[in-house]
């Protein structure tokens, strides 16, 4: 809840956010049908999708629910496939297997370097996509990265700021996040007036009541940089004004209120900006490219003119855009 994608060096798949489109037509002639593979699917033969106790269930019975559940997302992916192919062609660019492999490696970094079948399966479950759509996502990311690669730069000031956030002075804190100011005041009053070790009591109440992702660890954040813009400014200010062993003032968040227990400083890492420069630059560049990729995807979708003749799919698309 508190921590946004790390502003300095985070990795991740490109988040293709929705944006509203205009009206027009993408003709069938622009589709690369060599990529449409329905082998092994009853859909290609218009056969029943499933037979239960001798009774056939056809696609006509299943399609409305399937379209309602994922039609908007799948349509967006299909539109981007067409739009990206066109954009690559206009720029004289191509996406090869080497680009796709590189994109899979970046995906692996979001999984802690793990591209095992189990890690990918966990990612697919989390995002609700199968192997086919995962391959499409990786290829779209490769296409988007090729299109923005020459437009993104990272300066030395950004590298220096990232170094300070990750390796500079930091603080060890515990966080307790609740939805309302009344809850925050009650909890802070309870903890202030209690007896015994404050850290233990704070940790217990964080496990019981906190909405933050750190709740399972008793609210513990091992090393927070007060320069890190990924944490809300109000929270960083409250922590900066608090002595070790004390609780901060209540800090307002976008969707709740936070209390921090400052446990103590974390010493700077024994390294130098020169030693970490290349890796930091690469990570910052990947993040900057990812932001540009998401913006380009929105731009392409926003400029596309789409006519949807199927009412169920039109409804799913409208819902996706809301």
Among 308, 305, 294, CA closest to 18: 294
pLDDT at position 19:
37
**CB contact set of 51 (below 8 Å; sequence gap of 6+):** 57
Of 1-5, 24-28, 265-269, the range with the lowest mean pLDDT is 24-28
pLDDT at position 43:
53
pLDDT at position 151:
92
CA distance 65 to 71: 9
**CB contact set of 9 (below 8 Å; sequence gap of 6+):** 162, 166, 280, 283, 284, 287
pLDDT at position 158:
96
Task: Please determine, for residue 161, whether its predicted confidence score (pLDDT) is greater than 70.
Answer: yes
pLDDT digits (tens, 9 = 90+) for 100-148: 998 888 877 766 655 566 766 776 677 677 778 888 989 999 999 999 9
Q: In the chain, what are the domains?
A: 28-35+58-154+276-321 (no CATH), 169-266 (3.10.50.40)
pLDDT digits (tens, 9 = 90+) for 136-149: 989 999 999 999 99
Task: Please determine, for residue 206, whether its predicted confidence score (pLDDT) is greater than 60.
Answer: yes
pLDDT digits (tens, 9 = 90+) for 275-308: 999 999 999 998 999 999 999 999 999 888 888 8
Of 16-30, 68-82, 216-230, the range with the lowest mean pLDDT is 16-30
Among 111, 150, 102, CA closest to 11: 111
pLDDT at position 114:
59
How large is the average pLDDT for residues 305-320?
87
Q: Are 251 and 202 in contact (CB under 8 A)?
A: no
pLDDT at position 134:
83
pLDDT at position 18:
35
Q: Are 237 and 249 in contact (CB under 8 A)?
A: no
User: Model-level pTM greater than 0.75?
Assistant: no
pLDDT digits (tens, 9 = 90+) for 57-89: 888 888 888 888 888 889 999 999 999 999 999
- Partners of 52 in the β-ladder: 55
């Amino acid at each position: 809840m508190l921590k946004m994608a790390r502003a300095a060096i985070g990795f991740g798949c490109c988040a293709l956010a929705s944006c509203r489109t205009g009206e027009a037509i993408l003709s069938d002639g622009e589709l690369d049908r060599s990529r449409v593979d329905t082998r092994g699917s009853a859909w290609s033969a218009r056969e029943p999708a499933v037979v239960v106790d001798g009774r056939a269930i056809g696609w006509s019975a299943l399609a409305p629910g399937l379209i309602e559940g994922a039609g908007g997302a799948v349509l967006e992916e299909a539109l981007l496939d067409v739009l990206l192919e066109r954009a690559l062609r206009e720029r004289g660019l191509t996406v090869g297997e080497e680009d796709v492999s590189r994109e899979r490696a970046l995906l692996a970094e979001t999984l802690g370097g793990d591209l095992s079948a189990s890690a990918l399966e966990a990612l697919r479950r989390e995002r609700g996509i199968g192997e086919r759509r995962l391959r499409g996502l990786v290829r779209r990311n490769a296409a988007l990265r090729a299109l923005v690669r020459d437009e993104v730069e990272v300066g030395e000031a950004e590298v220096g700021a990232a170094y300070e956030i990750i390796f500079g002075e930091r603080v060890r804190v515990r966080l307790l996040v609740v939805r309302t100011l009344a809850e925050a005041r009650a909890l802070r009053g309870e903890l202030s007036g209690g007896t015994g070790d404050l850290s233990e009591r704070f940790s217990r109440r964080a496990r019981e009541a906190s909405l933050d992702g750190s709740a399972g660890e008793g609210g513990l954040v091992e090393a927070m940089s007060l320069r890190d813009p990924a944490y809300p400014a109000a929270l960083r200010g409250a922590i900066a004004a608090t002595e070790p062993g004390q609780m901060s003032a209540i800090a307002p968040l976008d969707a709740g209120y936070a209390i921090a227990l400052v446990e103590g400083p974390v010493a700077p890492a024994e390294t130098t900006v020169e030693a970490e420069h290349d890796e930091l630059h690469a990570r910052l560049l990947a993040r900057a490219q990812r932001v540009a990729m998401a913006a380009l995807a929105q731009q392409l979708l926003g400029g596309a003119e789409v006519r949807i003749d199927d009412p169920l799919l039109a409804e799913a698309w409208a819902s996706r855009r809301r």
